[in-house]
Amino acid sequence: MKITEILTPECIISELKSETKEETLAELSANFPYGRLNCDQATAVKVLMDREKLGSTGIGDGIAIPHGKMSGLDDLLLSFGRSKKGIAFDAMDGKPVHLFFLMMAPEDFPSQHLKLLAKISRMLKDTAFRKRLMEAASQDDLYSLIAKQDGLV
């Protein structure tokens, strides 16, 4: 599975405006195509916040991969956001999060959901890649970097 089959340039935010966890989840999910789904953004944010209550998806090293499962989806949804200043996200290492991949999956897609989480995790283990993401100048540059790394993993 290629991340670029799911992630579109329109779902990349080069500088998040959010300051809290809930604001971040709302901002990252704002560009999903709700008009084609049997759900709305408020429901998506609630699902994501409920998942966060089970344990933070802030995995450390400035990374968070918030995710949730929802009825009304026919396929995986993915967005990416960057915060140069960092956002308090209850990460495992206690540090602010700068890089976010947010994923929503249909309730009946467990294997695809896990494969995508694993792939994103592998990509973000690369310190040089994370540094390039932080230094990218634009939404298009971020998408190009993700697409290139996607082809390597």
Catalytic annotation, residues:
67
Q: How far apart are CA 124 and CA 64, in angstroms?
A: 10
Closest CA to 32 of 62, 83, 70: 70
Q: How far apart are CA 141 and CA 138, in angstroms?
A: 5
143: three-class secondary structure by DSSP: helix
Polymer length of the chain: 153
